[in-house]
Structures are given as structure tokens and as C-alpha cells.
């Protein structure tokens, strides 16, 4: 899948009109005449990548302590931020898009065995589809808990009222899919195939799955598994950190050495609008002006030390337009004067929605920090390997190396490092949930009169109402 002909495009938001079925446009092609050739197989897999399981950063940053949505605009954002969340909130509607992607993967997994084509390529395509299916289910189980387990192609309107399966059944499928993908996927691809799932991506997502399953449980066997899988990625010798943090998000980083798995775009051809969307409201440095979806929280901004090289890469604190400098603030209530996110902003884009920077799903620094955290748990304190992993990330950021910490100090240091390194990459909410700190962190952030009504049940989102209505066999999560 050449990046200049087929890009990995993600649907960041669902719409209420989406159904449970993935219905294709009506053409002269049918299931009886399609899925016959190697080109059909390639196109079917391309559709899987088109529905890749990425998440809207708005959900991650506004349901944690990282950002404040502006109180003008879509009313669902401040409701989400204050944890006045109902199943009708548009920003919890990530359920249907995930099942659309799952159905596309199921089509590849079910249909490709019957296609006469190169067997090695066929196995690789199926492995890629399993990786993508696992990614969708991993998002679903972390967001909603128990969800319907669907492993076969949806071919009719019959039998769609599927009840929720226990999370352990979902975890089992994710692990199986990733392990099967890991055994087949190549370590690398030619540059023209950049963006496909690799063996390292499967190993890295397994490490993340085990970290999630370990949760806050001391002595869990999943810590050992997480550490082992992270080490396998590191030992491949394929990935490394860029010398400069900014280079990890540059246009030139597409398919680069730090991006283990990413959503790729092409500037002003098939782009995104994340930089402008989360940029400075009304600032004309963006095409059509910045949307200003959310502002950076003081909690996040002040967590960076003054000499942390990641801070100016992550945030925009001033800008110049027509020779006039506008300084931005963490505390000024004026939305046009708010410090904003710029980490994924493509400054070369000329069109609204034309940004070509890749959206990371798994970076090498994430794997290093997972290894450091898991080793600390396995050994009841950091060993030399754990220090080496976290210090690679810190030294790249211009910080001093850590040393002499006990178990608890190192645990807290890793969680902080993950926040600073991976902010705006859909990790903060999941990190707070798995460590049992979501409620505590949200309650501690009361800037701009947040007054959150968060409760323990909010670690799960509600099943979207449109999906509850479509499937009477679904039972809503407690509290909603």
C-alpha cells in the first residue's frame, strides 16, 4: 500500500446516523463476484486500514486533567469535561466506527482463504487484518468494558442482536489476534509499503495489552509479560528515538524510526485538522482560523520543567501574524488568548483539514516507558535496565537521568514521564484508569470552575444511545 496512492485515513468522530452494518455503495459488484483476485484482497485490506482504530484526542484530554474545552461551541464537550455524561453525548460514540472496522477485518479474515493468490502474501494480509481487529477491540474494551464479540463477517440483517461478552473473552481474542499477527508480519517493509502493521507493532500492542491487564495489581503475572514483549521490540533493533523530540512529529517522520504504528496522511490531499482544531481560537495562522476546541490545563503545562525540550514542541504559547505578536496564557479566560496544543500541527497545510502529519498510535518512547514501568513492578524496584529505558526518554527531552529511586518513587516518575512524553496521543485517560488514578486526578483539577461530578463508574463510558436502540440485547453500563 503505497503512501502516495493509498493513505491510512481514520474517522475520528462517529455520527448518530451510522448503523451497525458496514454497508458499501451499491455497484455492479456483489459478494459473489468480488473477493476473487489478489487485487480484490488488497483492496479489502485497504478498507480495513481506512477504518483504522484511532481515537479523537478530545476524549482523552478533556476527560482527564490535561485540557479544558472552551465553554462556547459544542455543548457536549463541557458536559464531558464535567462528567455530566449521558449515552447521548456525541463524544462517546466510538462504538459503531469500531465495529465497522471489525467487520471489514472479519471480511478479510473470512474471504481471503478462498482467493487464489500468493500464499505468503495472503497470510500477511490476514495477519494485518487480525492486528487491526485487535486494535479495534482493545479500544472498545478499554472504553466500554464488556462488548459484543463478533468474529465473522456480517452478511445480513439477521442475528445482529448480540449481547455483550465478558472482558476476559475480549482480551483472549485480542491476545490471539496479536500473537498470530506477530508470527506472520514482517519486521520491516520497503519504503513504498510504509504504514502497514509490522511484527514490532504487534509485539508493542501485546506489551500494552499486558500492561493494561496488570492494572494496579502488584505481583500480577502480566507485568512480566509486558516487560518481555517490550524487550522484544527493543531487541529488534529496528526502532530508536530521534535526537530531537520535534522530529518525531515532523512531516519527514512518516514511516520513521520512532513510529512503530501510525495513521498516515498527505498534506492537502488526504489530511486531518487536528492542529488547527486544537490550535488557538480564531488565530489566522491556520487556514480558516484556529478552531480552539480545548485549551491546555495549568496542571499539564506546569508539569513540564522550564528546560524540558518537549514543552515548546507540544504547546503554542505565542504567535506572530502580520507583524503582531500575540502572547498566550494558561489563565486568561479569553479563548483567543489560550495556550493551545501544536504537537501534530502541519504548518505547511494550505487547506482546512489538509494537515499531513502522522497521528501516532504507538511510538518507541512508549515502549521504553512500558518496559521501565513493568520492570519496576517485576523487581519491586527499578533495576539498571529500567533506568536505562526511562532515561533515554528523559535525556532526549533535555532532563537529567534518574537514579536512586525506590519502587514507589520510580512508579510515580514513569507515570509522570508518560504524561509529558505522550500527551495528546490518547494515552492519559487509559494510564489513569489502569493505575486507579482517574477519579483522583480529575477531582484535583478544578480550574475554570470545573466542579466535576466524576464517580468510580466513570472509568467506563456509556454505550451510545443510538447503539442501545439498535441492539436491544445490549445492557447499559452501571451509572448511566
**pLDDT tens digit sequence for 71-116:** 667 889 999 999 999 999 999 999 999 999 999 999 999 999 999 9
**pLDDT tens digit sequence for 142-201:** 999 999 999 999 887 777 899 999 999 999 999 999 999 999 999 999 999 999 999 999
How far is residue 292's CA from residue 289's CA, in Å, rounded to a whole number? 9
* pLDDT value of position 18: 33
* pLDDT value of position 154: 87
- Within 193-282, residue ranges assigned H as helices are 199-214, 221-235, 274-277
CA dihedral 417, 420, 426, 431 (to 10 degrees): 30
**Half-sphere exposure at residue 402, Cβ-oriented, CA atoms within 13 angstroms:** 26
* pLDDT value of position 56: 82
- In the predicted model, residues of the chain with pLDDT beneath 70 are 1-33, 53-54, 71-72
Identify which of 50, 211, 87, 82 has the alpha carbon closest to the alpha carbon of residue 142: 211
* pLDDT value of position 346: 98
Cell numbers of 7, please? 493513505
How far is residue 15's CA from residue 96's CA, in Å, rounded to a whole number? 9
Query: Is-contact 422 408, C-beta < 8 A?
Result: no
* pLDDT value of position 1: 36
**Does 217-260+364-436 carry CATH code 3.40.50.300?**
no
Cell numbers of 112, please? 481471503
Identify which of 52, 97, 57, 98 has the alpha carbon closest to the alpha carbon of residue 77: 57
* pLDDT value of position 7: 35
User: What residues does each domain of the chain span?
Assistant: 217-260+364-436, 274-357
Query: Is-contact 340 278, C-beta < 8 A?
Result: yes
* pLDDT value of position 156: 74
Number of Cβ within a 10 Å radius of residue 156: 7
* pLDDT value of position 29: 47
Query: Is-contact 67 279, C-beta < 8 A?
Result: no
Name 313's Cβ contacts closer than 8 Å, sequence gap at least 6. Answer: 245, 246, 249, 342, 343
Cell numbers of 66, please? 490535561
Cell numbers of 288, please? 480558516
Angle at which helices 384-396 and 407-422 pack, to 10 degrees? 30
Amino acid at each position: 500500500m503505497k503512501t502516495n496512492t493509498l493513505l491510512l485515513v481514520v474517522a475520528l468522530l462517529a455520527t448518530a446516523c451510522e448503523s451497525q452494518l458496514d454497508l458499501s455503495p451499491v455497484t455492479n459488484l456483489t459478494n459473489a463476484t468480488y473477493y476473487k483476485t489478489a487485487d480484490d484482497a488488497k483492496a479489502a485490506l485497504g478498507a480495513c486500514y481506512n477504518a483504522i482504530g484511532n481515537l479523537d484526542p478530545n476524549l482523552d484530554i478533556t476527560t482527564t486533567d490535561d485540557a479544558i474545552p472552551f465553554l462556547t461551541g459544542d455543548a457536549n464537550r463541557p458536559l464531558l469535561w464535567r462528567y455530566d455524561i449521558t449515552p447521548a453525548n456525541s463524544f462517546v460514540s466510538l462504538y459503531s466506527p469500531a465495529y465497522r472496522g471489525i467487520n471489514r477485518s472479519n471480511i478479510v479474515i473470512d474471504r481471503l482463504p478462498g482467493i487464489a493468490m500468493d500464499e505468503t502474501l495472503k497470510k500477511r494480509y490476514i495477519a494485518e487484518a487480525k492486528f487491526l481487529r485487535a486494535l479495534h477491540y482493545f479500544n472498545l474494551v478499554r472504553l466500554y468494558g464488556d462488548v459484543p464479540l463478533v468474529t465473522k463477517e456480517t452478511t445480513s440483517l439477521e442475528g445482529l442482536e448480540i449481547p455483550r461478552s465478558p472482558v476476559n473473552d475480549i482480551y483472549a481474542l485480542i491476545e490471539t489476534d496479536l500473537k498470530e499477527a506477530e508470527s506472520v508480519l514482517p519486521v520491516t517493509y520497503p519504503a513504498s509499503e510504509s504504514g502497514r502493521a509490522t511484527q514490532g507493532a504487534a509485539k508493542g500492542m501485546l506489551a500494552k495489552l499486558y500492561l493494561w491487564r496488570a492494572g494496579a495489581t502488584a505481583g500480577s503475572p502480566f507485568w512480566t509479560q509486558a516487560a518481555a514483549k517490550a524487550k522484544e521490540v527493543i531487541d529488534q533493533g529496528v526502532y530508536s528515538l530521534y535526537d530531537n523530540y520535534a522530529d518525531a512529529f515532523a512531516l519527514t517522520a512518516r514511516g520513521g524510526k520512532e513510529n512503530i504504528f501510525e495513521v498516515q496522511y498527505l498534506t492537502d490531499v488526504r489530511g486531518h485538522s487536528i492542529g488547527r482544531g486544537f490550535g488557538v481560537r480564531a488565530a489566522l495562522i491556520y487556514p480558516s482560523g484556529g478552531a480552539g476546541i480545548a485549551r491546555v490545563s495549568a496542571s499539564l503545562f506546569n508539569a513540564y520543567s522550564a528546560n524540558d525540550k518537549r514543552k515548546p514542541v507540544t504547546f503554542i504559547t505565542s504567535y506572530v501574524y502580520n507583524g503582531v505578536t500575540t502572547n498566550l496564557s494558561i489563565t486568561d479566560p479569553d479563548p483567543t488568548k489560550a495556550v493551545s496544543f501544536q504537537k501534530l500541527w502541519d504548518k505547511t497545510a494550505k487547506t482546512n483539514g489538509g494537515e499531513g502529519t502522522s497521528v501516532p498510535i504507538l511510538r518507541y518512547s512508549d515502549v521504553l516507558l512500558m518496559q521501565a514501568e513493568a520492570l519496576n513492578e517485576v523487581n519491586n524496584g527499578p533495576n539498571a535496565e529500567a533506568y536505562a529505558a526511562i532515561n533515554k526518554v528523559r535525556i532526549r527531552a533535555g532532563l537529567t537521568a534518574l537514579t536512586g529511586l525506590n519502587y514507589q518513587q520510580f512508579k510515580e516518575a514513569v507515570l509522570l514521564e508518560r504524561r509529558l512524553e505522550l500527551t495528546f496521543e490518547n494515552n492519559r485517560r487509559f494510564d489513569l484508569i489502569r493505575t486507579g488514578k482517574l477519579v483522583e486526578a480529575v477531582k484535583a483539577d478544578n480550574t475554570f470552575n470545573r466542579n466535576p461530578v466524576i464517580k468510580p463508574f466513570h472509568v467506563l463510558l456509556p454505550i451510545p444511545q443510538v447503539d442501545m436502540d439498535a441492539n436491544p440485547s445490549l445492557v447499559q453500563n452501571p451509572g448511566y
